[in-house]
């Protein structure tokens, strides 16, 4: 654990809390992609199966439970909550996320650190997390009015991954034999997907205008 890893974890946690705050208090999921939330639920499920077999620390277990529980809670709210689900725009959230899942499965079977069930699932979760934000970004491009909480949620998600890259760089120079190419490349791809969003987010903040992404 180092300050960059901790900052990344707290930023990730903040993104989840911002989204839950919006959904629970405003009773609206307008501008939120159910497809992205379902992908994150799959990511955390496949990544954290070791919660039943490997104990690392109380902090590690707590964070895993938080991300698992929150991802399924968000999906439930959008799909089942009698008020929240009315604000979900399925006509705009049309990204075919199965076309993200299937290539990630194939890639995980071909490129992994070890051809075991657990390692393949771990690789799959990394590949899928790298592209899970795509349905959300596409939905934001189609949405004319992006509310502040949704914009902050996406910004914090991108910031979390950027901080993790700094964490990896720090560990590379301070730890012996710290080389994880699959994690690094997946994280870099994920961060690059946010670059365009970051640009327009900071532009809207600088000019004090409502956030809009080009169609």
In degrees, rounded to 5, the angle at the alpha carbon of residue 29 between the alpha carbons of residues 90 and 215 is 60
In angstroms, the Cα distances linking 52 to 61, 65, 101 are 10, 11, 24
Give mean pLDDT, residues 181-209: 93
Share of residues in the chain with pLDDT > 70 (%) = 100
Q: Give residue 77's pLDDT.
A: 97
Assess whether pLDDT exceeds 90 at residue 144: no
Q: How confident is the model at residue 91 (pLDDT cuts 50, 70, 90)?
A: very high
In degrees, rounded to 5, the angle at the alpha carbon of residue 162 between the alpha carbons of residues 160 and 163 is 65
Give mean pLDDT, residues 33-53: 95
Assess whether pLDDT exceeds 80 at residue 93: yes
- Summarised one tens digit per residue, pLDDT across range 146-179 is 899 999 999 999 999 999 999 999 999 999 889 9
pTM for the whole thing? 0.93
Give mean pLDDT, residues 101-125: 96
Q: How confident is the model at residue 54 (pLDDT cuts 50, 70, 90)?
A: confident
| CA 25/CA 30 separation, integer angstroms | 13
| CA 141/CA 131 separation, integer angstroms | 16
Q: How confident is the model at residue 212 (pLDDT cuts 50, 70, 90)?
A: confident
Residue 40: closest CA among 68, 14, 12: 68
Q: Give residue 70's pLDDT.
A: 96
Assess whether pLDDT exceeds 90 at residue 111: yes
Q: Give residue 188's pLDDT.
A: 95
């Amino acid at each position: 654990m180092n300050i960059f890893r901790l900052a990344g974890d707290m930023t990730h946690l903040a993104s989840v809390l911002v989204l839950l705050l919006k959904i629970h208090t405003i009773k609206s999921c307008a501008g939120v992609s159910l497809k992205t939330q379902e992908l994150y639920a799959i990511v955390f499920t496949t990544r954290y199966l070791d919660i039943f077999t490997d104990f690392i620390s109380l902090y590690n277990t707590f964070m895993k439970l938080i991300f698992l529980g929150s991802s399924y809670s968000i999906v439930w709210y959008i799909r089942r909550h009698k008020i929240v689900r009315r604000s979900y725009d399925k006509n705009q959230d049309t990204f075919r996320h199965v076309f993200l899942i299937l290539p990630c499965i194939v890639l995980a079977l071909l490129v992994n650190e070890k051809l075991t069930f657990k390692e393949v699932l771990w690789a799959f979760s990394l590949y899928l997390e790298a592209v899970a934000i795509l349905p959300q970004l596409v939905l934001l491009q189609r949405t004319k009015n992006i509310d502040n909480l949704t914009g902050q949620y996406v910004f914090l998600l991108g910031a979390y991954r950027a901080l993790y890259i700094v964490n990896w760089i720090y560990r590379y120079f301070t730890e012996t034999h710290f080389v994880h190419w699959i994690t690094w490349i997946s994280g870099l791809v994920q961060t690059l997907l946010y670059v365009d969003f970051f640009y327009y987010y900071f532009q809207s903040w600088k000019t004090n205008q409502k956030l809009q992404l080009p169609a």
